[in-house]
Amino acid sequence: MLRVIQWATGSVGRHAVAAVHGHPDLELVGALVYSNAKAGRDIGDACGIGAIGVTATKNPDEIVALDADCVLYMPQGEMNPMGALDDICRLLASGKNVVSTAVTGLVCPLESVCAAGQTSFHATGIEPGWAAEVLPLTMSGIFHTSTRCWFRS
């Protein structure tokens, strides 16, 4: 069983909490939140799936200290990309693998940090399923319609 931490529980993170909790080979062992309304609460309750026995914290030191195999790092990292990169490097150096949907503009191999922590880093892009899949398809239909109207005038 892989021990997983969820870092941030916004629109993407709350779905990740439910997915991890429902997966038979994964155990959610920690959750970092940014909201005072979620801190100290059961993360399952905070994410709308019912209590799961994991208390949310706002303290990154508590998250780094947890024994875990992987951290799902899903805050709005584009608002503070250097801070997000510092978080990711700290998690990697602590021996935790990281999967991230944040800081897509700064994704780099992070080889030295991964080597030091014997970890790996995977960046999946911003807002999975939206920016790389739905948006281009939607925009292509709009551009196609706009082009036809433009040439008819």
Q: Assign residue 33 the CATH number of its domain.
A: 3.40.50.720
Q: State which residues form the domain around 38.
A: 2-128
Residue 80 is predicted with a pLDDT of 84
Among the ranges given (74-88, 105-119, 123-137), the one the predictor scored with the smallest mean pLDDT: 123-137
Q: Read off the pTM.
A: 0.79
Task: Name the token pair of 105.
Answer: 């503009």
- Those residues whose C-beta lies under 8 Å from the C-beta of residue 107, and which sit 6 or more positions away, are 123
Is 150 a member of any domain?
Answer: no
Q: What is the mean pLDDT of the chain?
A: 84
CA distance 39 to 97: 24
Structural domain tally of the chain? 1
Is 142 a member of any domain?
Answer: no
Beta strands of 18-133 (E only): which ranges? 26-32, 56-57, 70-73, 97-100, 121-123
